[in-house]
Chains A and B, each alone.
Chain A
Amino acid sequence: MKAPRFTPKVVTANDLLLGDVVYLTADDLWSRQHHQAELIEDEAHAQMRLLHGTAQRQVVVGAYLADARTGPKGPEPVHFREAFRTRGPSNYNHGKQADPSDV
């Protein structure tokens, strides 16, 4: 069977102190904004970036690779769970949707 094409990924995690959702950028920072994340299109590179993210144990918790795709502003989430993580809950205007700079 032909190996399926690699789905692009972003490295995402939760901030250690605040618990809010963060994304690994190409310049090794953690952004609160999904569209600022590094969109990783190569599987081997994705593993390296995940290791890099996981190693920052004093900054983030629970790093993992999430499917993403290119959008007009930058990477966009694919799964609705990841879309929810970029915004916050639906019942209150809390989380990133209220103030992207804070939780």
Chain B
Amino acid sequence: MYSYSDFDAGFVRARVQQFSGQVARRLDGSLTEDEFRPLRLMNGLYLQLHAYMLRVAIPYGTLSPDQMRQLALIAETWDKGYGHFTTRQNIQFNWPKLQDVPAILAALADVEMHAIQTSGNCVRNVTADHFAGAAADEIEDPRPYAELLRQWSTDHPEFQFLPRKFKIAITGAPNDRAVTRAHDIGLRMHRNAAGEAGFEVMVGGGLGRTPMIAHTTREFLPVADLLPYVEAVLSVYNTLGRRDNKYKARIKITVHETGPVEMTRLIEARFAELRPLFGGADQALLADIRSAFAPPAFRIGPIDAYHAFYTADPTFRSWADTNLAEHRNPDYAILTVSLKAHGETPGDASAAQMRLLADLAEKYGHSDLRISHEQNVILPHVHKSDLPTLHAALMQARLATANIGLISDIIACPGMDYCALATARSIPVAQDIALRFEELKLEHEIGPLKLKISGCINACGHHHVGHIGILGLDRAGVKTTRSPWAVMPPKPPPLVNAPAPVSPTTRSCPPSSVSCAPILPCARPLQRRSSMPTAALVWHPSKPHSIRPKAAKMPLEQPLAPVAERVAELNARYRHHGATAVLERAMTDPQVGRIALVSSFGAESVVLLHLVSVIDRSIPVLVIDTEMLFAETIAYQAEVAARLGLTNVQRVMARRERLNFEDPDGTLHQFSTDACCALRKTEPLEAALGQYDAWITGRKRYQGSARAAVDFFEAEGDLRIKVNPLAHWGREDLEDYMVNNRLPRHPLVAKGYASIGCAPCTTPVKPGEDPRAGRWRGTEKVECGIHFINGRAVRVPKETA
């Protein structure tokens, strides 16, 4: 493996010296915490829930036995005797003391390791396929390229203050074992038609609160162009990436907002500028690095012992079946040592276990150890005849669990047991699930199944990518861990480059994978005034007049209890639930009754429409057409209805004779906005809602003081229930939801309209204004009247508005 040059060694030593001085100055008071914090983060030192935490990089997941022993020594000397391997090929020590950290970093430097760039807005540890250099399907060992990238990115002056952190993953095999599509840059080696090796470059992937699959910006990049191309990507990101909002700062958002086509163009343009500046020094360096990754001298010898044990010993057989992978040398195997013994913490290894693994790697594994993003340790080169001895030795240390790729091989982040960002614990959930399936003895029967657990939406546990993802959330300080979606295909599909199912990131969103499901086109999209109706209700032409919501199809067993009583009960029951649960209940519960959704197709309406469409596309969607709407709104109604496949959109209009009488020339709004709203919105809606027991609205608490106390369920006198599933959503949640589910935006949003009503009474809002400030601007009026209660949906009296 790669050995530090004098330059590398000097550089790392200098950093240790520098950080020792910084710690000393923090302790003597000459540095404040605000000054010290960025310095300690640049050296991988975090302050977590119970203590400091030091994150040490394991570049491309490769460790020598000496390095592993040193990690054991650090764990024993300065920590509590164990370390935690993470999903990004790092090891974390959970209990270091501040004054000991310089000594720990010095001990790491002794074995050519460091914690540089394991935090902060820079290029993080470059991760690689953990089977690199051993896998049977590999084109070329990716680690020399990873090492080249590490050297190039370490302390790169241009990329120390990126908009946000930046993660690169690389695989040398067509089968992706490095989650490349969920990285800022993913590099996947393949061959072109001429048989040359090169990289598919994928940009803008990532999990977290806005999970995105990376876009391929270059199908085939010659290996010699790697550095200039990656530098071009970072350069474009450094220029365009947002620095105003840390939740929108990752390159995935840049790609999303710029568009993959434009992004590709910008990268290629920058690449054309940069390419000539790389004069070949990088290739000379790469050649040197490559020689350090030469394959070991494989042993030639009989493997009869392996076959004999395999036949005779069922425990060994079971372990061999799950924990071995095919090696490029048929006499060898790749052994994955599970750090997921049932009931243990996923990814934790004690100092004794680390030492044993180091010894075994030295004796039986050509002195090579790997750490996988799945939080296991790999001995990549094991001669098959050594496997029985190895198995016996591992058994002694509880390291022979035969569960690789099975349900108890769980990826779990540290969660709220350690992490200051977490919203829930994930370790105990993982422990319980593993123990339960061990008791049932079911996991081998179930077969390959990837279960991932994250304790917060930052998704360190990769919960979006897998067969079952569990996200821990905090709702009102009550412990909740829920599986927002769980898909168990009869046969797990390859996780390689397939668009991974994307699960929700904001509270209780439905899986956005649903939005990728075939969406049936609306039988007949809305047409603006195709025939001018005179009735109060315009029924969708394809629907019989008597269409009723689902819940009403079943005869109710008993008459409904009074509205107020049901509302109180529903609110109590759904206090800790989110929008989806509330909607599902509202749309199916006989207690709620016949239900319709009322939508304005305004700036944010598409969120609720999407949530509803996922549950039932045939729910009646009532649209109030005041005949004063923006043309953009009309077009948008058709677009959204078609996109979501809503099959029962009904336009609600005022009766022609009422309009002729009250507002013959369409100018009523100039004299009395209240009277106009009453005529064109409130009365028609009241008439339309007459046949429903409940209606769904998109009202949210953040939408202004008049709505600050909106609850999930509200009584409209004793007439009907009003359901407000989004009551607790904030603007950010809505934004995220629209981005995550790729929902179309109302065209006027881009023009500064934050809340959209009728054309005469809506103006854009300025930054910082209440989003509804643009409605009825210059008047006291804040609500149109359809949302006021007191017995009936009546026009709001001026003084209470």
B428 in complex: contacting residue of A20, A91, A94, CB < 8 Å: A91
Whether B80 pairs with A94 at a CB distance below 8 angstroms is yes
Closest residue on chain A to residue B28 by CB atoms: A58
Q: Would A57 and B33 be within 8 Å (CB), given that A17-B98, A89-B418 are in contact?
A: yes
Tell me if B32 counts as interface (CB < 8 A to partner A).
Answer: yes
Whether A91 pairs with B431 at a CB distance below 8 angstroms is yes
A5-41 near B? 1/0 per residue, CB < 8 Å: 0000000001011111100000000000000000000
Q: Would A19 and B477 be within 8 Å (CB), given that A1-B708, A90-B425, A90-B428 are in contact?
A: no
A90 in complex: contacting residue of B26, B47, B99, B427, CB < 8 Å: B427
Whether A58 pairs with B708 at a CB distance below 8 angstroms is no
Whether B417 pairs with A89 at a CB distance below 8 angstroms is yes
**In the bound complex, CA of A88 to CA of B94 (Å):** 11
- Which residues of chain A in 70-103 are interfacial with respect to chain B, using CB atoms and an 8 Å cutoff? 78-81, 84-85, 88-92, 94-96, 103
Whether A19 pairs with B97 at a CB distance below 8 angstroms is yes
- Which residues of chain B in 88-129 are interfacial with respect to chain A, using CB atoms and an 8 Å cutoff? 94-99
Whether B50 pairs with A88 at a CB distance below 8 angstroms is yes
Whether B708 pairs with A94 at a CB distance below 8 angstroms is no
Tell me if B29 counts as interface (CB < 8 A to partner A).
Answer: yes
Tell me if B345 counts as interface (CB < 8 A to partner A).
Answer: yes
What chain A residues lie within 8 Å of B51 (beta carbons)?
Answer: 14, 18-20, 95, 103
Categorize the interface residue count of chain A: 20 to 34
CB distance from A2 to the nearest CB of B (A): 11
What chain A residues lie within 8 Å of B50 (beta carbons)?
Answer: 19-21, 85, 88-89, 94-96, 103
**In the bound complex, CA of A21 to CA of B47 (Å):** 11
Whether B416 pairs with A84 at a CB distance below 8 angstroms is yes
Tell me if B615 counts as interface (CB < 8 A to partner A).
Answer: no
Tell me if B191 counts as interface (CB < 8 A to partner A).
Answer: no
Whether A62 pairs with B428 at a CB distance below 8 angstroms is no
**In the bound complex, CA of A91 to CA of B345 (Å):** 7
**In the bound complex, CA of A54 to CA of B730 (Å):** 30
What chain B residues lie within 8 Å of A17 (beta carbons)?
Answer: 27, 97-99
Tell me if A68 counts as interface (CB < 8 A to partner B).
Answer: no
Tell me if B48 counts as interface (CB < 8 A to partner A).
Answer: yes
CB distance from A47 to the nearest CB of B (A): 20
CB distance from A4 to the nearest CB of B (A): 12
A55-69 near B? 1/0 per residue, CB < 8 Å: 001100110000000
Whether A92 pairs with B33 at a CB distance below 8 angstroms is no
A1 in complex: contacting residue of B99, B416, B474, B709, CB < 8 Å: B709
**In the bound complex, CA of A88 to CA of B418 (Å):** 8
Closest residue on chain B to residue A94 by CB atoms: B80
What chain A residues lie within 8 Å of B528 (beta carbons)?
Answer: none
What chain A residues lie within 8 Å of B479 (beta carbons)?
Answer: 80
Tell me if B631 counts as interface (CB < 8 A to partner A).
Answer: no
Closest residue on chain B to residue A93 by CB atoms: B80
**In the bound complex, CA of A62 to CA of B479 (Å):** 24
Whether A19 pairs with B417 at a CB distance below 8 angstroms is no
A18 in complex: contacting residue of B97, B417, B418, CB < 8 Å: B97
CB distance from A33 to the nearest CB of B (A): 14
What chain B residues lie within 8 Å of A90 (beta carbons)?
Answer: 417, 425, 427-428
What chain A residues lie within 8 Å of B32 (beta carbons)?
Answer: 57
- Which residues of chain B in 27-54 are interfacial with respect to chain A, using CB atoms and an 8 Å cutoff? 27, 29, 32-33, 47-52
**In the bound complex, CA of A96 to CA of B49 (Å):** 12
Whether B47 pairs with A89 at a CB distance below 8 angstroms is no
CB distance from B541 to the nearest CB of A (A): 46
What chain A residues lie within 8 Å of B99 (beta carbons)?
Answer: 17
**In the bound complex, CA of A61 to CA of B47 (Å):** 9
Closest residue on chain A to residue B430 by CB atoms: A91
What chain A residues lie within 8 Å of B477 (beta carbons)?
Answer: 78-81
Whether B29 pairs with A58 at a CB distance below 8 angstroms is yes
CB distance from B82 to the nearest CB of A (A): 8
**In the bound complex, CA of A75 to CA of B99 (Å):** 32
CB distance from A94 to the nearest CB of B (A): 6
**In the bound complex, CA of A103 to CA of B94 (Å):** 11
CB distance from B21 to the nearest CB of A (A): 17
Closest residue on chain A to residue B32 by CB atoms: A57
Closest residue on chain B to residue A103 by CB atoms: B51
CB distance from B709 to the nearest CB of A (A): 7
Whether B427 pairs with A89 at a CB distance below 8 angstroms is yes
**In the bound complex, CA of A90 to CA of B50 (Å):** 12
What chain B residues lie within 8 Å of A96 (beta carbons)?
Answer: 50
Whether A19 pairs with B48 at a CB distance below 8 angstroms is yes
**In the bound complex, CA of A18 to CA of B52 (Å):** 7
Whether B417 pairs with A91 at a CB distance below 8 angstroms is yes
**In the bound complex, CA of A94 to CA of B95 (Å):** 9
Whether A16 pairs with B708 at a CB distance below 8 angstroms is no
What chain B residues lie within 8 Å of A89 (beta carbons)?
Answer: 50, 94, 417-418, 427
CB distance from B48 to the nearest CB of A (A): 7
**In the bound complex, CA of A23 to CA of B418 (Å):** 19
What chain B residues lie within 8 Å of A94 (beta carbons)?
Answer: 50, 80, 95
**In the bound complex, CA of A18 to CA of B418 (Å):** 15
B59-97 near A? 1/0 per residue, CB < 8 Å: 000000000000000000000101000000000001111
**In the bound complex, CA of A89 to CA of B49 (Å):** 9
What chain B residues lie within 8 Å of A78 (beta carbons)?
Answer: 477
What chain A residues lie within 8 Å of B26 (beta carbons)?
Answer: 16
Closest residue on chain A to residue B37 by CB atoms: A61
**In the bound complex, CA of A89 to CA of B345 (Å):** 11
Whether A19 pairs with B416 at a CB distance below 8 angstroms is no
Closest residue on chain B to residue A58 by CB atoms: B29
**In the bound complex, CA of A75 to CA of B418 (Å):** 23
What chain A residues lie within 8 Å of B708 (beta carbons)?
Answer: 1
What chain B residues lie within 8 Å of A21 (beta carbons)?
Answer: 49-50
Q: Would A92 and B80 be within 8 Å (CB), given that A85-B49, A103-B51, A103-B95 are in contact?
A: yes
Q: Would A62 and B47 be within 8 Å (CB), given that A17-B98, A81-B416, A92-B80 are in contact?
A: yes
- Which residues of chain B in 416-438 are interfacial with respect to chain A, using CB atoms and an 8 Å cutoff? 416-418, 425, 427-428, 431
Closest residue on chain B to residue A16 by CB atoms: B98
What chain B residues lie within 8 Å of A16 (beta carbons)?
Answer: 26-27, 33, 98
- Which residues of chain B in 453-488 are interfacial with respect to chain A, using CB atoms and an 8 Å cutoff? 474, 477-479
Give 10 CB contacts A-B under 8 Å.
Answer: A16-B98, A19-B50, A57-B29, A61-B33, A62-B47, A81-B474, A91-B427, A92-B345, A103-B50, A103-B51
Beyond A14-B47, A78-B477, 16 additional pairs, beta carbon < 8 A: A1-B709, A16-B27, A17-B97, A18-B97, A18-B98, A19-B52, A19-B96, A21-B49, A80-B478, A84-B416, A84-B417, A84-B425, A85-B50, A90-B417, A92-B82, A95-B50
Residues of A within 8 A of B (CB): 1, 14, 16-21, 57-58, 61-62, 78-81, 84-85, 88-92, 94-96, 103
- Please name the 5 residue pairs, one residue from A and one from B, whose CB atoms are nearest each other, closest first: A89-B417, A19-B52, A19-B51, A79-B477, A91-B345
